[in-house]
Amino acid sequence: MSTTVTTDIRDLWLPKAADRCDTTGCGARAYVLALFRGGSELLFCAHDGRKNKAALEKAGATIVDKTDLIEPPKPHQPETD
Ligand SMILES: [Zn+2]
> Which pLDDT belongs to residue 75?
83
Ligand 1 centroid to Cα of residue 55, in Å, is 15
Reference 38, options 59, 64, 11; nearest CA is 59
Task: Give the integer Cα–Cα distance in Å for 45 and 38.
Answer: 22
Assign 9 to helix, strand or coil. helix
DSSP element (H, E) containing 12: helix 9-12
pTM of the model: 0.77
Ligand 1 centroid to Cα of residue 1, in Å, is 47
Ligand 1 centroid to Cα of residue 36, in Å, is 18
Ligand 1 centroid to Cα of residue 43, in Å, is 8
> Which pLDDT belongs to residue 13?
87
3-44: pLDDT as tens digits: 666 677 667 789 999 999 999 999 999 999 999 988 899 999
DSSP track, 25-81:
TT-PBP-EEEE-TTS-EEEE-HHHHHHHHHHHHHTTPEEEE-GGGPPPPPPP-----
